[in-house]
Chain A
Amino acid sequence: MNDLVFGKYIPIDSEMHKLDPRAKLIGLFLMIGAVFVPKSWWVFLAIALCLAVALLMAKIGIRMIVQSFKPMIMMMIFLLVINSLTIRTGDILFTIGSFAIYKDAIFNTLFVIVRLLLMISITTLLTATTNPLDLTLGIEWLLKPLEAIRFPAHEVAMMVSIALRFIPTIIEETMRIMNAQKSRGVDFENGRLSEKISAILSLIVPLFSVAFERAYELADAMEARGYVPGAKRTRYHVLKFRFKDYLFIFICVVILAGSIASRFYL
């Protein structure tokens, strides 16, 4: 569980790390848009090349990106199976026994998979280069306009920030409970489905109980330190847009524009 790469912050010094989190968040949305629009493999290749440059600038190895794909492998296989069963158009590529696999099924799946992989890479790039606290400040800034319709932007950002802060603590707690249950004979790996469900329950119930206890204590600690939801607060981290942030957003806008243009010209 500690090997989880997706969403992990890598604290190193790089140009990508130094960008304003708001610029990176805006860039993320623009790039995800750019990934969704095109229908040409050449555009995907161009986006992948841009991403490779960003990864180089961020000093993040390709290995980490590949590792971040791991949790998605099962979903991709599932997608391939479903598409092979449901898409029955185009030429027959090959047959398995009497079952034919069509060209469209494979190509549509590959399209979706490439889009997914690019999206995961872009998101990993954002989370790996942005401190969780800065990320929540960026999210809060993006959600700020919604306060006009009484959306609790600050509270949501605070919740996200606390959730991110508690991920390692909860993982540690999960491992501790798993070991305690294993020592009492609970088998998490083997057995029938019903046994596995009961094993998982023996983990989830105490985990929830501990999480609630922690939440109550944390709420007391926050209240005791003068935190009042919705009240005015000053900020230790003050975000500032600089020239390079505007430049980064501009590059992302150009990529999105290029991607949209490719729909008409390629």
Chain B
Amino acid sequence: MAAIDELHKPGKISGESATERTARVQAAAFRIRHHALTMGEVQGQGYVGQALGAADMFAAVYADQLRFRAENPEWEERDRFLLSTGHYAIGHYAALAEAGIIPVKELETYGSDNSRLPMSGMSTYTPGMEISGGSLGHGLSIAVGAALGLRYQGSAARVYNFLSDGELDEGSTWEAAMGAHHHQLGNLTAMVDINALQADGKTDTVLRTEPVTEKWEAFGWYTQRVDGNDVGALLAAFDNAAAQAAAVGRPSVILCDTKVGRGVPLLEDREKAHFMRIEEHEWQICREQLSAGYERKPER
């Protein structure tokens, strides 16, 4: 694991090969998944599938992209990571623990009374949580304001907004997409988790959002679509966005196709559900499958 102070720097660590960089982020993703299972077991159910699916996105951000100070989450020059999809807090808390912003031990309090880690993420509860998401379709609008505010104040900090494909149903997401393009917010990057699943079923049966890539392109964004569970592809997308979009004042979006339950075959193969029920005896199986899969990876 990279030292915490190295984690503060975005992009690759100097002297690190591309393979080493990918392996470092994959290791972070593995620990984030492990943390998510720990939290899931506390509740016995919940948004474990989404956290596992998005773990590589969280890892790419927290282990590679974001500038922050773990000991001072309010550091003024930090990059902002705005979690719009409030119920993905389980994945975000795991990433905050991985980043050293909250203690790993605290994850066991997830969703319990008096915990700083409520089921739906709120800025007023958790260090490092920038906004109160959960009412879906808010994050990108707030991100537009934050990006405008930072730029006006001469800050070099960047704004990252994590949203889900379900949030593409919300008109406000597209108001914000227009606003970001109009105001030429090159300091804004959106990441859309496309797991093709919403509360009432598969996205294409709830409200068709495709063609997603063409929509973002039409709204003027620098648009890339990648396998969101391919860490190498995610890192390359961030590098492309930095090189192609930021300097010319274009907001960038990385559309990430992910698999619910990724890394745990038992859950990958289970009938997909927004709110997944996992039996008591299955948690240990999940952990073992996660570790076995991680150790099997050919690049290690």
A is bound by B: no
Measured CB to CB, the residues of A under 8 A from B are none
Measured CB to CB, the residues of B under 8 A from A are none
